[in-house]
Structure 1
Amino acid sequence: MQNPQLKLFHNPQSRSAGVRILLEELGLAAEFELVDFKAPEKSPALLAANPLGKVPTLIADGVVVTEQVAIYQFLAELKPEAGLSPAVGEPLRGSYLRALAFYGSSFEPAMIDKALKRDAGQRGMSPYGDVAAVEQWLRSQLSVGPWFLGERFTAVDCLWGTALGWMTQFGLLEATAEISAYLQRFAARPAVQRARALDQALLAGQ
C-alpha cells in the first residue's frame, strides 16, 4: 500500500523535533512547513489544520493528526516493516503503548509543574501524583537498556530521546548515569544525526 502524502508543521526547537527523527528512522518523505515562533501571528495554514496552533501537527492525505502520542503511533504503523511499532499481539505491545501514553499523561505534566514550581495538587486530581515517583520510574526504565523498552529500538525512543535531551539541557531533570548513557546512544544513531543536520539547515535558511 502506498504511503500517504505527509506534511508536518514543524519547528526544530519544539516537540516536533522528535517527529522529524522518527520520519528519518522510518525513511518516510514529508513536506515541512517551518512554524516561526517569533512571528506576531500563527500561520493561517497551521490554524486551519489545528486551531490550537501547536506543533507537531501532521497532515496525511488531507487528514489532520495532532497530539504527540497519536502522531508517533500513526507514523510508526505506516511502516510496519521498520519494526518501530510492536504489532498487536506482540508481547512488547503493551509496554510500548504504556511508554507513549505515560509521556503525555504523566511525565510531561509532572515536568511542567516542576518547572513552574507548582504543587501537584490532590492525588486524586493529579494526572501523575508525585514528581519523585515519575522520575524514579523513568530511571528504572532506562536502567535495563539499551533502549527504552530494552533491546529493541522503537518509536518510543524517538519521543523520549528527544524529550529527555531538552529536559536535561534546561535543568528540569538531572542527567543521571542512566539518562546520560541513553542520550549518548540515541545521539549516535545515524537517523538522529541526519534529522538534526536537516533541522539546522532549516533554521539557517529561515
Structure 2
Amino acid sequence: MQEPLVFYTNPLSRSSIVHWMLEEVGAPYSMEIIEFGDAMKSPEYLAINPMGKVPALRHGDVVVTEAAAICAYLADAFPEAGLAPPPAERGDYYRWLFFSAGPVEMAASLKSTGFQPSPEQQVALGYGCYEHVIEALVSAVKGKRYIAGDNFSAADVYVGSHLRWGMNFGSLERRPEFETYCEGLAQRPAQQKVMAFIQQAMAEKEGAAN
C-alpha cells in the first residue's frame, strides 16, 4: 500500500513550487493549508518544520522541507514519473537545481534588500555577485526547452518557478532568455492547474477583505 503524501502549504507562497511538482508526479496527496502567523508557529506545525514555514511534505514517516529538497525527493520517490534523469546523466540536473536554491536565492534576496557586496565580501559570500549569477543562469536556459537535457525534470519545476516568481516580484530582472524558457514551461497542464488554484485563492482573499 502506498504511503500517504501530505503537503503543507499556503497558496500565497512559494509552496506553489512543490504543488506543481506534486501535480507532475501524479500520485494522490492531501493538502493542509497553514495560515501565516500563529498557525505556522504552533507546536503542532513546528513538529513538522521547526522553521515554522511552508512548504513541507510528509510521506509516510518521512518529512522533507525546503522546496528544492522536496522536488529532488519526489523525483526519486516516484521514478515512474520520469522527473529525474538517469543517475549517470544528472550533472546538469543537480547543478542547476541547487544553483538556483543556493547562489540565485542568496543573490536575489540580498539585491532586493539593497545590499551590494564589496569584492572582499563577494569572496566570503561564495556566490560572487548578482550579475555573475544572472549571466550563469542565462547561459543555462538560453536556447533550451529544458535545463537538464532533452526531457522535463524536477530541475525545471524548481528553476522555472524561481524565475517566474523572481521576475513577477522584481527580485530577478526580466531577460528574454528567462521569459522564453518560462513561457515554454507554462504550457504544462500541471503548472496551469496550480496557477488556477493560486488565482482562486487570491480572489477569495480579496473577496474576504472587501
TM-score by length of 2: 0.88
1:81 equivalent in structure 2: 80
Structure 1 pair 133–25 and aligned structure 2 pair: CA distance change class (3 A)? same
Larger mean Cα displacement after TM superposition, 107-116 or 135-144: 135-144
Q: Residue type matched to 1:111 in 2?
A: A
- 3-state SS of 2:125 partner: coil
CA shift, 1:68, in A, is 2.1
Q: Is the 8 A contact 2:10 2:34 kept in 1?
A: yes
Q: Does 1:21 align with 2:6?
A: no
Structure 1 pair 41–75 and aligned structure 2 pair: CA distance change class (3 A)? closer
1:169 equivalent in structure 2: 168
CA shift, 1:123, in A, is 3.0
Structure having the higher helix fraction is 2
Q: Residue type matched to 1:119 in 2?
A: Q
Structure 1 pair 29–200 and aligned structure 2 pair: CA distance change class (3 A)? farther
Q: Residue type matched to 2:107 in 1?
A: A
Q: Is the 8 A contact 1:128 1:134 kept in 2?
A: yes
Structure 2 residues not aligned, in runs of 5+: none
Q: Does 1:36 align with 2:35?
A: yes
- 3-state SS of 2:122 partner: coil
Q: Is the 8 A contact 1:105 1:127 kept in 2?
A: no
Larger mean Cα displacement after TM superposition, 121-130 or 139-148: 121-130
1:6-155 superposed matches below 5 A: 6-37=5-36, 39=38, 42-89=41-88, 91=89, 93-120=90-117, 122-155=121-154
TM-score by length of 1: 0.89
Q: Is the 8 A contact 1:6 1:60 kept in 2?
A: yes
Q: Residue type matched to 1:80 in 2?
A: P
CA shift, 1:192, in A, is 0.6
Structure 1 residues not aligned, in runs of 5+: none
**Number of aligned residues:** 203
2:157 equivalent in structure 1: 158
Structure 1 pair 14–181 and aligned structure 2 pair: CA distance change class (3 A)? same
Q: Is the 8 A contact 1:26 1:79 kept in 2?
A: yes
Q: How many percent identity over aligned positions?
A: 37
